A and B are shown apart, each in its own frame.
Chain A
Amino acid sequence: MNQRTHPRVAASGIVRAPRPAGRRRGGRDAGRNAFGYLLLAPQTLGLLVVGLVAIGGVVQLSLTRVNVLAGTREFVGLENYARIFSDPDMGVILTNTFFFVFVLSVAGTALALALAVLLNQKLPGINIFRSAIFIPALVTTVAWTLVWRFILQPEGLLDGMLGLVGAGPLPWLRGGWLTLAVFAVIQLTKNVGINVMIFLAALQAVPQELIDAARVDGAGPWSRFRHVVLPQISPAILMVFMLMISGSFKVFELVLLLTNGGPGVQTSVLAFEIFRQAFRLNDIGYAAALAVFLFALVLALTGIIWQFRRRLVFHEAD
């Protein structure tokens, strides 16, 4: 439909007359567009220059065997990529990585939504609770992790509390699913505040008349939430979910500070393995191949979800 030659229907239902096309308007549009591009330019140039050059550099490195100390570089083709699939540690590392992706994205989104719904109440002092949830997001991950290290250390606070009820002590940071679960809790509690704020903003933007209309139609609280509120905030849910997925691939500080990936590689993840290969084992080429692999994984997963957004998000199919 050509909007210049046909009447336009505004949201209010008022029919507006078409504007005459002319050179003056074209010039104004061009100026407006140029201003828009100017505003976009810093970010776009930054992405092009820094992002693409860096990505190109990493891809190039991934095709080489680098001896950093000797300053030599040898082209090895896809050898580093083949190593990824023959690396005996990679099974554990990828399992751990996808564990975080699944738990942090699903549980993280659900927890943030639940907390946002709870905090979306007009109660006296509710802002205190909102602040309490948000404060961990303001603390650096390193500080947050170190506090947890004291809590989780053998004979630490958590063991002491378990001891009061005759349980424990438990090897919180000695590997296995327990340690991975502990990591998930630490990461979730650290970042949930930001997502809660996003959901709170979305919840408060839901038109009250829609909820009232549903109430008049006899919808109960759950039905109102499921069929009215949830579709309205679905773009926010998708955004948080995708942010959590890309973020959960980057779990790093916890692993470095709490277990160093060990025992063995029991608690290692792909992001930590990249660091270990590059800066501890000086194997820059393999680390670069792992980085490209991680990039491809994040891209593929977010791409798939993006493709599904029309089915998941209200208004996306329009």
Chain B
Amino acid sequence: MRTTSRVSLTIASLAIAGLLAACSGPASESDGQADDVQLRMTIWSANPDHVALFEELGDEFAAESPRVSSVKIESFNLADLDTLFTTQIAAGDPPDVSWLPVESSLEYIRAGALVDLRKTIDATDDFDFDDLIPSLLERWVDGDAVYGIPFSTGPLMMYFNKDLYAQAGVKDPAQLIAEGNWTWDAFRETSKQLHDALGTPAFVLNDFDFKNWTRLLPYMNAYGASPWNADATACTMDSDEMVDAMSVFHGMTFDDGSMPVPGQQVDFWGGQVGATSAFLGSSASLVDADFEWGLVPTPAGPAGAVVSTGQASIVALAAGKHTSDAAEFVAFLGSKGAMEKYSGYFPPIRESVLTPEILIQNSKVLTPEMVQPMIDGIKKNGKVFPVAANNAAVADALNSSLDEFLYQPGADVAQALSKVCGDIAPLLK
């Protein structure tokens, strides 16, 4: 019996040891020793053209690099960003390089999760750091350190369905701009007219679905509101400016009926909605559109014509196995030559390549006249999304709290926003 137990124990121990050995994987190579480094980069686009472009750039870098033999590009869904990174970092297998949205910048920088690229950038001869527009880089810079190179800096623009406006006999956004009356108040009025005339939703926030507060920024910025103060230490969701901004949104949704209510599935790109606010990349959805459409900046408000600008950077993860090679690859991707190649898909922050001709080079639907206001917006009155140090928790609490208190018919906007502050303020301290 004892012999049997010992044999069983030995077999079980061997099995566990074998499994642990298998799970631990190969020992990580230290930088400077390996000469066939394989880098892994994650991007949140599944567009075959985007993947192919970055694969091509990866091959180009590998051909130039004395140590990197290949770069593998992997796609994931942006909504899964935190899940992916936490899982892979915890498992000791994070990507070396990745896209990272600006909302996560401060959290990753404070946690020491990103590699400082400064030395690598300085050592890269043709990088031309001064060509980057400084105001659009500030979320990624801390003193002398540079933690990411923004590869895509796109404002939320307004796409509108000319046919629906014409059918309803209502002034479309372009006509309001021509009249010099392009404000949220005027847009709310025409949206209600369109909804009353046709019964369809007049305006929908793209990728919002009442789960993504950043899509409300065109309202907030136009009214000079922000969810928190400049250094992200105090909640300002209950400010007068925010109450005014959210009153317009809430009124359009629940009083006017011109915007979809929570849970309602509507689709601008199929031609059922008057207008939507979305990024430039969404224009690809209009290639086969069977309606006439236009592209304009989002409306202005008491704070003027502010352009809400989303941003994403290419970063090297500190938990990666080949940090110096990864930093070199990021510097390569941020250089003018590489940026020129992908700027047809992603608006750059390099002054020299931020031109209408480059921006539309891969688009089948955009024209220089359409994107010129966007370029003006990026350069002059673009406002990059606000960031908080504890972004994951703050964004989750903000989305959850807005859903509970503000996205309700009959909600008192001021009271609702006060409760929202009660939820997120502890996370900002």
Answer yes or no: do A and B interact. yes
A binding-site residues for B, Cβ under 8 Å: 45, 48-50, 53, 66-71, 149-150, 152-155, 172-175, 260-266, 276, 278-284
Instruction: Given A264-B401, A279-B83, output 14 extra A-B contacts at Cβ < 8 Å.
Output: A45-B15, A49-B12, A67-B111, A68-B86, A69-B85, A71-B319, A173-B262, A175-B404, A260-B211, A265-B400, A276-B396, A278-B86, A282-B82, A282-B86
Listed A/B pairs (25) with beta-carbon separation below 8 Å = A45-B12, A49-B12, A49-B16, A50-B19, A68-B85, A68-B86, A69-B107, A69-B112, A70-B113, A153-B265, A154-B260, A154-B261, A172-B263, A175-B404, A263-B400, A263-B403, A263-B405, A263-B408, A264-B401, A264-B405, A266-B404, A279-B87, A280-B83, A282-B86, A284-B90
Residue of A262, A278, A282, A283 touching B404 (CB-CB under 8 A): A262
Provide the residues of chain A in CB contact with B385, threshold 8 Å.
none
A45 cross-chain contacts in B, Cβ below 8 A = 12, 15
Total A-B contacts with CB atoms under 8 angstroms apart:
94
* A263-B408, A264-B403, A264-B404 known; A280+B90 contact, CB < 8 A: no
Please give, as numbers and ranges, the residues of chain B lying within 8 Å of A284 by CB-CB distance: 86, 90
Question: How far does the alpha carbon of A174 sit from the alpha carbon of B393 in the complex, in Å?
Answer: 22
Q: A69-B85, A70-B113 are in contact. Are A261 and B400 (CB under 8 A)?
A: yes
Q: Does B392 contact A (CB under 8 A)?
A: yes
Task: Check A281/B89 contact, CB under 8 A, given A70-B111, A152-B263.
Answer: no
Any A CB within 8 A of the CB of B24: no
| B407: Cβ under 8 A from any A Cβ | yes
Residues on A with C-beta less than 8 A from B404 are 175, 262-264, 266
A69's partner among B108, B261, B265, B401 (CB-CB below 8 A) is: B108
- How far is B408's CA from A279's CA once the two chains are assembled, in angstroms? 27
Q: Note all chain B residues with C-beta closer than 8 A to A154.
A: 260-264
Given contacts A263-B404, A264-B403, whether A174 and B262 have CB atoms under 8 Å apart is yes
Whether the pair B111, A69 counts as a contact (CB closer than 8 A) is yes
How far is A66 from B401 in the complex, measured between Cα atoms in Å? 25
List of A residues within 8 angstroms of B396 by Cβ: 276, 280-281
Contact of B89 among A71, A152, A173 (CB under 8 A): A71
How near does chain A come to B210, taking the closest CB pair, in angstroms?
A: 9
Given known A150-B265, A152-B263, A263-B404, contact A49–B108 (CB-CB < 8 A) = no
Interface size on B, residues (CB 8 A): 36
What is the minimal beta-carbon distance from A278 to any residue of chain B, in angstroms?
7
Q: Contacts A48-B12, A153-B263, A282-B82 known; A68 to B403 CB distance under 8 Å?
A: no
| A contact residues around B113 at 8 Å (CB) | 69-70
* B403/A262 in contact, CB under 8 A: yes
Bound Cα distance A48, B260 (Å)? 52
B interface with A by C-beta (< 8 Å): 12, 15-16, 19-20, 82-83, 85-87, 89-90, 107-108, 111-113, 211, 260-265, 319, 392-393, 396, 399-401, 403-405, 407-408
Highest count of chain B CB atoms <10 Å: which of A155, A276, A283: A155
For the complex, give the distance between the alpha carbons of A168 and B87 in Å. Answer: 44
A68 touches B89 (CB 8 A): yes
- Contact (Cβ within 8 A) A53 B263: no
Query: Chain A residue with minimal CB distance to B427?
Result: A281
Q: Are A174 and B12 in contact (CB under 8 A)?
A: no
Tell me the bound Cα distance from A183 to B211 in angstroms: 20
Taken together as a complex, chains A and B put the C-alpha atoms of A70 and B90 apart, in Å, by 10
- Minimum CB–CB distance from B84 to chain A (whole Å) comes to 9
> Which residue in chain B gives the minimum CB-CB distance to A50?
B19
> Are the C-beta atoms of A49 and B82 separated by less than 8 Å?
no
Give Cα A284 to B261, complex, Å.
Answer: 34
Note all chain B residues with C-beta closer than 8 A to A262.
399-400, 403-404
A281 near B12: Cβ-Cβ < 8 Å: no
B83 to chain A, nearest CB (A): 4
Distance in angstroms from A37 CB to nearest chain B CB is 9
Chain A residues closer than 8 Å to B211, beta-carbon distance: 260
How many angstroms from the CA of A265 to the CA of B211 in the assembled complex? 13
Complex interface: chain B residues within 8 A of A71 (CB): 89, 319
Which residues from A are CB-within-8-Å of B263?
Answer: 149, 152-154, 172-174
Q: Are B264 and A68 in contact (CB-based, < 8 A)? A: no
Residue of B nearest to A45 (CB): B15
CA–CA, A232 and B393, complex, Å: 53
Partner of A280 from the list B108, B392, B408 (CB cut-off 8 Å) is B392
Smallest Cβ-Cβ distance to B80: which chain A residue: A279
In chain B, what residue has the closest Cβ to A66?
B90
Rounded to whole angstroms, the CA-CA distance of A263 and B263 in the bound complex is 12
Chain B, residue nearest A67 (CB)? B111
- Kindly list chain A residues whose C-beta atoms are within 8 Å of the C-beta of B16: 48-49, 53
Return chain A residues, CB-CB under 8 Å to B87: 279
CB distance from B146 to the nearest CB of A (A): 18
Across the interface, B112 reaches (CB within 8 A) one of A70, A149, A173, A281, namely: A70
Kindly state the separation between the CA atoms of A260 and B262 in the bound complex, as whole angstroms.
Answer: 12
Bound CA span A154–B264, Å:
5
Specify which of A68, A149, A150 lies most central, judged by the most chain B CB atoms within 10 Å of its CB.
Answer: A68
CA distance A153 to B263 in the complex (A): 5
Cα A265 to Cα B272 in complex, Å, equals: 32
Residue of A nearest to B88 (CB): A68
List, in ascending order, chain B residues with CB within 8 A of A263's CB.
400, 403-405, 407-408
A281–B392 CB distance below 8 A? yes
Contact yes or no, A69 B89, CB < 8 A: yes
A49 to B108, CA, bound (A): 35
Instruction: Determine which of A173, A175, A260, A279 lies in contact with B86 in the assembled complex, contact meaning CB atoms within 8 Å.
Output: A279
Smallest CB-CB A-B distances: 8 pairs: A264-B404, A69-B111, A263-B404, A279-B83, A69-B113, A262-B403, A70-B111, A263-B403
Shortest distance between the CB of B142 and any CB in chain A (Å): 16
Nearest B residue to A261, CB-CB: B400
**A residues near B319, Cβ cutoff 8 Å:** 71
B407 surroundings in chain A (CB, below 8 A): 263
Which of A45, A263, A266, A278 has the most B CB atoms < 10 Å from its CB?
Answer: A263
